[in-house]
Amino acid sequence: MPPYPLALFPLDVVLFPGTPLPLHIFEPRYRQMLADCLTGDSRFGIVGAGHEAEAPDPGAVGCAAEIRGNERLPDGRSNIVVVGGARFVVQRMLDDPAPYHVGLVEEFDERPGTLPGAEPLGVLRELFARYFDLYQSLQDAEPEAPELPDEPIPLSFTISAAVDCEAAVKRRLLATRSTDERVALLLQVLPVLTRALESALGIHRRARRNGKGGVHSVLPADS
């Protein structure tokens, strides 16, 4: 597909193909963007803000957001649900009369021949299951575990969306055009995130015991 103009919503969150994302639209310019999208093709792009200004930088990678649900509130704000569509690269920003950002974007796909084998995919599922079990334990409202697809590409996107890590890491996961490289990166990231959760859970449990009158000794045991 040749490059085409797309309304752009700069955000710190990263959207991945095939994954849902709830959003709260409150700024007037993005209310207008939403209204325009709903009367058009129901799509806009989610991409990181630029380095010098909010407008995305040329070369930034984003993901098309397909609007699947819209709850308009009495004061004009909206709660919407989008699902990730095609990934794209921002070619340049356009001088558009709209109050929101509009860029010329070009879509891209995975490189052919980059699917990982069954073994790393099996390890990825196991590591993610351990990670998400700990993640659920530390949340006040226990999040529902995502349904993991069978196919490697959507599986890698689903897990990339579900892990709680820095936006820079997520943007790297989104930008890679190799499923094998994305899976390899997740296999590096998940053990680090899991160890952090294990440490946090240990502190949480000790704090709960201390709050109930237990004693947490900071002195070494007698030899």
pLDDT one digit per residue (tens) for the chain, 223 residues: 899 999 999 999 999 999 999 999 999 999 999 999 999 989 999 999 998 778 999 999 999 999 999 999 999 999 999 999 999 999 999 999 999 999 999 999 999 999 999 999 999 999 999 999 999 988 877 788 899 999 999 999 999 999 999 999 999 999 999 999 999 999 999 999 999 999 888 776 665 555 554 433 333 444 3
C-alpha closest to that of 55 among 108, 105, 92, 85: 92
104: enclosing H helix or E strand? strand 101-108
At how many degrees (to 10) do helices 118-137 and 179-211 cross? 30
Q: In whole angstroms, what is the distance from residue 15 CA to residue 44 CA?
A: 12
Q: In whole angstroms, what is the distance from residue 63 CA to residue 83 CA?
A: 10
Domains (range + CATH), the chain = 4-108 (2.30.130.40), 118-211 (1.20.58.1480)
Q: In whole angstroms, what is the distance from residue 95 CA to residue 91 CA?
A: 13
Q: Can you give the pLDDT at residue 209? A: 57
Q: Can you give the pLDDT at residue 144? A: 87
Contact 184, 120 (CB under 8 A): yes
